Every structure is written in structure tokens, then in C-alpha cells.
Structure 1
Amino acid sequence: MSNVTFGETPAWKDYEKIGFRIVFIYFLLQALPLDWKFYHCLFTTSLFHLHYEDIFNLANYTTRFAAGPATYLDWAILLALAIIGAGIWTYLDKGRTHAYNATFYWLRVILRYRLALSVLAYGFLKFFALQAPYPSLSSLNTPYGDFTRWKLFSLSLGIVPSYELFLGLVEIILAILLLFRRTASIGAFIFLIFCGNIFMSNLAYEGGDQVYSLLLISFALVVFSFDAQRVVRLLILQQPTAAATFKPVFEGVKRYGRLTLKTLFLLFFVVIYGIKTGVGAKQDVYQYPTTPGLTASKGLYNVATFIVNGDTLAYSPTDTLRWNNVVFEEWNTISIRSNKPAPIDANNQHLVSGNNAERLYEIEGTNGRHYYSYTVDTTRQLLILQNRLPQSTESFSLHYSRPDKNSIILSGIAYSRDSIYVVLEKVNKKYLLEEVANGRGRIRTLKL
């Protein structure tokens, strides 16, 4: 008969049992999906048309009781539920003297795989330089002081894709270490150091993933706790330390079932997810829209002429109506630099969406530029613009003409029913980041 044995272990004290029951229920509620929306997404996603965004969003699930990002209030609610559940468990378990070593083992298994899943989800995004993409042309033409701390951090990571790749590789290796019992504590210990830095950077740069990163740290602490005392005795106190004697033994069908489940996990979340993320890095960089913009229009344009209701406005550092410059992105986004105050999209969460309208990374955490998505009507030579801010209803249409390859003329009714006529002239601007990357720039060595 197939069974799983865990060996003889001493009975736990009463206070240890109560503490464990609270911990067990709490982390079980944190690790397992409770939200019906998770299962709706799971069962409505086609396995034959999976995108890496689908896998990431399922892997990135966290328990929350209100709309918006997870908060520490969610943790408090789960802790209260865990205390109530532990009280009921204590009442039902009254008089029993057995230990909970086997239960603790299964809790670590759940948290190991849950943590590995989360780390893999982010690891492949970093490995293919998707999480922090290279700055858009609009960002390259926005002053440093017009970004929030979080956006500066993301842009700084995006300009060094090789370093981002390295961070992703570290996360992938740590996830694989967590999947095997013999290396799980090593992986959890290194992850505590690695993710501790991520948590602190979220605090320092006002990032939106501080709650999630601390949650993953708590998972790693539980996984590492099994060997923590031995590590402290051996490495810090330098005292003789006995190896762990607890060892699960799987026999029969359960042995092959365990191997099958682990193989499927590796196949789906390492091989398939890795391949789909790699393909997405070439075809679908989720931070930016994928709809092509006006053909051969990408670039920075100086506003040579700006006429409003028949009056020509000269350049002015204080005029809030006149445009200063315009950027046409490779995709269907136009950003306009002007002295008119630009509302800030303060979202600092890391979101992954397959919907172009929800890909707002280019406008998040930045000020000084007004962003518009547009559709092109080539028959009427018309650009239909829509303000990219989610709460904005601003939209207008402009006719366009292209007298030559370096000029674009826009005209139509915009803003408060004003008639505008704008002549844009392309600026042949070189960017030091690209010049150096292509070997055309020169960097002097800094001597200390």
C-alpha cells in the first residue's frame, strides 16, 4: 500500500501547537487564491492561446478584500481569520499529543512552490528586459526633474538591459532552487537578501510593490525557518550542529504523482512561460502599445509655427497655450511638451496588460508632457486623438499633411473649440545613450 512516512519526532508543546495553527492557516490563506475573479480568469483563459501576460497575472495573484492594490489591511483581516480558525482547530484537537511536523512540511511545500511561481513570473520579465523597458522617445526628451522617484528607478534599470537580464537570471535560479527540498533553504536564504533589497528600493523610490515584496519575504522566512537554527549555530555561533533528521519518504503511486506534478510545473512555468515571454519580448513589449503609429513619423519635432484662431504665437517660456515640441512615438502615441500643467498619473504599481489602452507606462510618473493616443484615417488624412489619462475625456481631430519627410502640418479644432494650425519640423537629435551603445560615443574612464 502506498503511503508517506515522516519518521518519529517528539511531541510539540501546547503553545507551539497554537502558534503553528495560526501560522499555518494564515499562510495558507495568503498562498491559495480565494478571489472568484482569479478562477474566472483561470477558466476563461484559452490554453491554446495563452500569452505570457495571462500566466504572469495568474502567478501574481494576492488575496485582497477591496479593489486596487493589496494592502497591509488585507493581512490584518487574514490574521484575524487565522486566529479564529486556530481557536476552532485547538478545540477540535484537544487532548491529542501528536506533533505537526508533517503538516509543517506540507506548508513549506506550498510556500516553496508559491514563492517559486512568483519569482519565475518576475524573473523571465527581467531576463527579457520587459519589466523595465528602454525609455520611450518622449521620456528621453523629458527633463530629469519631471519624473517621480519610482519612474526614475524604472528608467535607470531600463537603460541597462544586460543588468536587468542578470537580475532575472538570479531570480530564475533561485526559483529552481526553491523547487527542490535539499536546496530550498539555500534558495530561500539568498532570496531573503535579494528581495530585501527590492523591498527597500520600493520604500526608498516610493514603488507600488512594497506590500507584495514583503509578502514574498514572509514566505521565504517560513521556508528558511526549518534550517534557520542550524545555520545560526553553525555559521554565527560556530557550534557543533546536527543535520536535520526529518525526511519525507514517498512510496508507490504518491512517489510518481509527486514527480509528475513537479515535471508539469517545470514544463509550464519554466519552459512554456519562458518561451512565450521570449517571443513577447520580440513582438509584444507589454509596457508600450503595439498599434503602429503614422508611417515614418517617429521622432522629435520642433514647433516652427503655431497659429491659434488666426493669431501666430511666438515661442514663450510662459505661454501655456503654445506647444514647445512634439514627439511621435513608433506606436500610436503623440506627446506634446507645453507650459500648460500636465496631470500626473501617479500609478506606481507594476501591471501587465494585453490591452493597449491599459498600457500606461509611458505616461506614469511623468510630468510636463501631454500624451495622446491616436488613430489614423489615411483616406481623409486625419488624426483622431484621445488623451491617454484614464480619467480624461478629451479628444479632438487634426488634419495632417506632409510637405516633405521632415515636416508635418497639423490643423483643425482643438481644446476649447480653438482653431489651430501647427507646423512641425523634425529635429535630427542624437542621444548619448544610443551613441555610446553603438560605439560612436566616447566615455572617459573615471579614476579614483
Structure 2
Amino acid sequence: MNALKGALSNDEWKGYEKWAFRIFSIYFFIQAVPLDWKFYRNLFSINWLHLRFSDIFYVSRYTPQIFSDRTSTGWGLNTYADWLVMLGITIVGAAVWTYRDKDAKDYNKFYYWIRVIVRYRLAIGIIAYGFIKFFPLQSPYPSLSNLNTHYGEFSRWKLFSLSLGIVPNYESFLGLVEILAGSLLLFRKTSTIGALMVVVFTGNVFMSNLAYDGGEATYSLYLITLALFLLTFDVVRLFVLIGLERPVQPNRFKISLSQKGQSARLVLKTLFIFFFVFLYGYKTWSVYHHDVYQYPQTAGLKDADGLYDVSEFKINNTALPYSATDTSRWKNVVFEKWATLSIGTNKTVKIDSAVTEEINDKDADRSYEEAGSIGRQYYSYQIDVANQQLILQNKNHNYPNDKLVLHYTRPDNSKLILSGVEGRDTVYVVLNRIDKKYLLEEAARGRDKAIKL
């Protein structure tokens, strides 16, 4: 199709070129422009007087959904089934367009504007993820419980995320690449470079989602298709210039706007960049310094964070010795700085998965710490200081009825005694804090000699 008339010459378009343009332009218009009523339902639900970083993120990430919402927030991601339906709509639309517009000689102006729409849609999509990597929020540093979970007890996607979380500088570099690519897309003269960067970078993201069972393979492929559509504009010239080493003419096609039109374009572009780049970047920075959204923010039991060995464990007043196979006895307990404790056990549980990027304001909905892992039972808790009780709720969404009320005493700063009812049994647990050193933390302090763990 001569790259959809990449040079935008004054020559009359061939029939197959016009057919191809009608199909591609309708399809990408449907994919890029929010025509889905659910988008506007969620848009009007935003409190614009107290705009949150997550509000801008979901506006930037949203894709048209035909069948249903797939996330608790309602700002879902579409599926390949949605794509097929949109393709069907596209073919019908292209057929009607062809019948009603038989005399058209070219679609140069239409092609220009559809590229503008796709450029800006792709830019905000890639920038939205760039900032949550640049300020390492998407894959935060592993929690204390994660550091005390066996490697084989993590899902592949959780291992991938944790591996990125332990190198925040590298994560920030990846975010910077995405921000740069998105910024280049905001300007016509650099859009091809930005689109090429997206294809290479997001192509790696797409393959990572496939290899590690991530949940955003469809969305990353969606961004890639937008970038490929933009690349078709210059692909022939690039091939001739680089592949055949022959000179080519640059594209000089430009839409003529009135003075008022130029002023309106400048104002709209300035507002767009301010909202999706500067405001969003500032709010992401603020979240990074005040509220890492992957982890709960409610403070836990004071000065209790750490790893504890279970030195004594009783069920119904019967002591259970250490065992590598016992499914009833606790192996160890971790208290986080926030109001989460995790219990190492041998119980078989249904894994709680979270493989798409979701930003939750409520601690109860923040599931990153326990998602994608087995071997530990994660509980959020409330502290009843007057009665010295911990009111526990299993954080795994597959066990909503798993609740415990444990009385606690603290003979000293290194010991905790818990007692209460677990299911139909009474439990009594003596915990002793372990002064454990972690290789990651020791290495971060710059030690250059052997470490005994």
C-alpha cells in the first residue's frame, strides 16, 4: 500500500490504498478514541477538586470494552474478543464508506488527523507507565515477608516483579525510556523515533507478559499496534534510506490552519501536556514519597516489625514440635511495619493472583504483598490496644471468612506471645524475634567483604 501513501503526495490514491486506509483508520479510531460509555461513567465519577494520581493513570490506560469490566475499579482492559468485534465493525464501516465515497481521490487530510489521534493516545499510554517506573512504584522493594518466602513459592510473574523491585535504579531507567518515547510522540517531527522506541521497548514488555504469565499482554500488544500504525508513515522511506542506501525526500505535508485554529491547537496541546505529563508526573512523585500504593499504609504494632521464630506452639493446649510437614504448626511469623503479619505454614492454599496494574486507595484492597505467592498466610490486622488484641483478616481473596482474634502480650522487645482461636481450635504461640541479616540490604550499605547470614 506504499505505507498508506507515506509521502502524502498529491498523486491520486489507488483503489486498494483507499480500501486499506478506510479499514485501518476506522479500526484505530475506535481503539484510540473513548467511545465506550463506561469510560465516561468513570470519568464523571472522578472528584476533580481532589484529583488523585490514580485518576489520571486510569484515564491514560483505559481501552474500549465491549463485553464487560474486568477490574474492581471499572477502568478495565479490553480483550482479544473485543478486538474481533471492533474489526467486524471496521469492515462494515469501511464497506459503507466505500459505497458513499466512491469519488474520493485521496485521504491525505484524514490520514494526518488519524495519526494525530493515535500519536496522542499512544503517548499518554506509554507515559502513564513510564512515571510509575521512573518513581519505582510499579515494582517496589520486596516486603519483609517476601524476603522470607522460598523462591519456589512465588509465581513467575511475582518473581519477575520482585527481580525488578530490587534494582530501583534500573526500574527508573526503564521508566525514563518510556517517558522519553511518549514525549517524542507528542511532536510530529519526532513521532517516528518515538513510535520505533515503543515498538522495541513495549515488544519486550509483551514478551515478558507472555513468558511470565503477566496480565497485560493484550494491552502491551495494543500499544505496539498503535506504534506500528504510526511507523507505516515512514517505513518505506526508512527502508530506502537505510536498507537500499538511497536518498529519499522528507515528508513536508502540513495541515493549513487559520490563525484561530493555530491558537486553539497550541492551547489544547499545552493543556494536554500539562495534564498528562507535568501534573501526572508531580502526583506520581508525591505518591512515591508519601504513599507507595502497592503496600498498606496503616501503621502496624509499634516496634514489632521483624521476623519471629515460633519457639512454642500449642493447639488445644497440646504442644506441637517443629515439623517440616505439619500443616497445623506455624513455622515463623513476620510483622511488617504496616498492619500486616504473615505466617509461614505448610498449608495448601489457592494462590491469590494480581497480574495487572491496579491502584487501590484502601489498604484492604492492596494485594501486592501476598499476590503470586504461597507458603505464607497474609493477614491484615486492627489493634485493640485496650484489650491487647489483634483482629486479623486473611488478605487472600479466596478466603474471605478466615478471621482470627488473638490476644497479645510483650514480655520484652524481642518476644511476643499470641493466644486465641483459630477455626475451632485454641492456639498459643510464643514468638522470638530473629536478628536476621538480608544480603540485599547489606549489599545496599556498600559492604565489600564477605557477609555471614
TM (norm. structure 2) is 0.94
Where does residue 48 of structure 2 map in the other structure? 47
Q: How many residues align?
A: 437
The CA deviation at 1:20 is 1.1
Which segments of structure 1 move beyond 6 Å, counting only runs of 4 or more?
none
CA distances 1:1-54 after superposition (whole Å, capped 9, x unpaired): xxxxx9972221222212211111111111122332321221121222111111
Give the whole-Å Cα distance in 1 for the aligned partners of 2:18 and 2:257: 25
Given candidates 305, 308, 311, the residue that maps to 1:298 is: 305
Give the whole-Å Cα distance in 1 for the aligned partners of 2:226 and 2:8: 25
Give the whole-Å Cα distance in 1 for the aligned partners of 2:309 and 2:252: 72
Give the whole-Å Cα distance in 1 for the aligned partners of 2:263 and 2:114: 20
Give the whole-Å Cα distance in 1 for the aligned partners of 2:440 and 2:11: 63
Give the whole-Å Cα distance in 2 for the aligned partners of 1:184 and 1:369: 47
Query: For residue 147 of structure 1, what is the amino acid of its counterpart?
Result: F
Given candidates 62, 65, 84, the residue that maps to 1:76 is: 84
Given the superposition, is the C-alpha separation of residues 313 and 91 from structure 1 closer, same or farther in structure 2, using an over 3 Å criterion?
A: same
Alignment identity in percent? 52
Tell me, yes or no, if structure 1 residue 344 matches structure 2 residue 351.
yes
* Aligned-partner SS, 1:176: helix
Where does residue 66 of structure 1 map in the other structure? 68
Tell me, yes or no, if the aligned pair for 2:350 and 2:398 is still in contact at 8 Å.
no
Unaligned runs of 5+ in 1: 1-5
* Aligned-partner SS, 1:411: strand
Map 1:399-438 → 2, pairs under 5 A: 399-415=407-423, 417-438=424-445
Map 1:325-404 → 2, pairs under 5 A: 325-392=332-399, 393-404=401-412
Give the whole-Å Cα distance in 2 for the aligned partners of 1:77 and 1:379: 59
* Aligned-partner SS, 1:380: coil
* Aligned-partner SS, 1:226: coil
Give the whole-Å Cα distance in 1 for the aligned partners of 2:229 and 2:134: 27
Where does residue 226 of structure 1 map in the other structure? 233
Given candidates 136, 140, 160, the residue that maps to 1:153 is: 160
The CA deviation at 1:190 is 1.8
Query: For residue 313 of structure 1, what is the amino acid of its counterpart?
Result: L
CA distances 1:257-288 after superposition (whole Å, capped 9, x unpaired): 11111111111111111111001001111111
Where does residue 116 of structure 1 map in the other structure? 123
Give the whole-Å Cα distance in 2 for the aligned partners of 1:97 and 1:336: 70
Where does residue 99 of structure 2 map in the other structure? 91
CA distances 1:379-433 after superposition (whole Å, capped 9, x unpaired): 1111111111123221121111111111111111112x10111111111101010
CA distances 1:98-141 after superposition (whole Å, capped 9, x unpaired): 31111111111011000110111001100100000000111100
- Return 363-372 or 341-350, whichever deviates more: 341-350
Query: For residue 63 of structure 2, what is the amino acid of its counterpart?
Result: T
Given the superposition, is the C-alpha separation of residues 443 and 314 from structure 1 closer, same or farther in structure 2, using an over 3 Å criterion?
A: closer
Where does residue 31 of structure 1 map in the other structure? 32
Query: For residue 124 of structure 1, what is the amino acid of its counterpart?
Result: F
Give the whole-Å Cα distance in 1 for the aligned partners of 2:287 and 2:362: 14
The CA deviation at 1:239 is 1.8
CA distances 1:132-186 after superposition (whole Å, capped 9, x unpaired): 0000111100011111111111000000000011111111111110000000011
Tell me, yes or no, if structure 1 residue 278 matches structure 2 residue 310.
no
* Aligned-partner SS, 2:432: strand
Query: For residue 78 of structure 1, what is the amino acid of its counterpart?
Result: M
Where does residue 3 of structure 1 map in the other structure? none
Give the whole-Å Cα distance in 1 for the aligned partners of 2:275 and 2:101: 39
Give the whole-Å Cα distance in 1 for the aligned partners of 2:278 and 2:63: 24
- Return 117-126 or 242-251, whichever deviates more: 242-251
Given the superposition, is the C-alpha separation of residues 21 and 443 from structure 1 closer, same or farther in structure 2, using an over 3 Å criterion?
A: farther
- Return 146-155 or 41-50, whichever deviates more: 41-50
Give the whole-Å Cα distance in 1 for the aligned partners of 2:61 and 2:365: 18
Given the superposition, is the C-alpha separation of residues 144 and 255 from structure 1 closer, same or farther in structure 2, using an over 3 Å criterion?
A: same
Unaligned runs of 5+ in 2: 1-6, 71-76
Where does residue 254 of structure 1 map in the other structure? 261
* Aligned-partner SS, 1:400: strand
CA distances 1:345-391 after superposition (whole Å, capped 9, x unpaired): 13322222222222111111111111111111111111111111123
Given the superposition, is the C-alpha separation of residues 92 and 433 from structure 1 closer, same or farther in structure 2, using an over 3 Å criterion?
A: same
The CA deviation at 1:443 is 7.3
- Return 65-74 or 75-84, whichever deviates more: 65-74
Where does residue 270 of structure 2 map in the other structure? 263
Query: For residue 422 of structure 2, what is the amino acid of its counterpart?
Result: A
* Aligned-partner SS, 1:434: helix
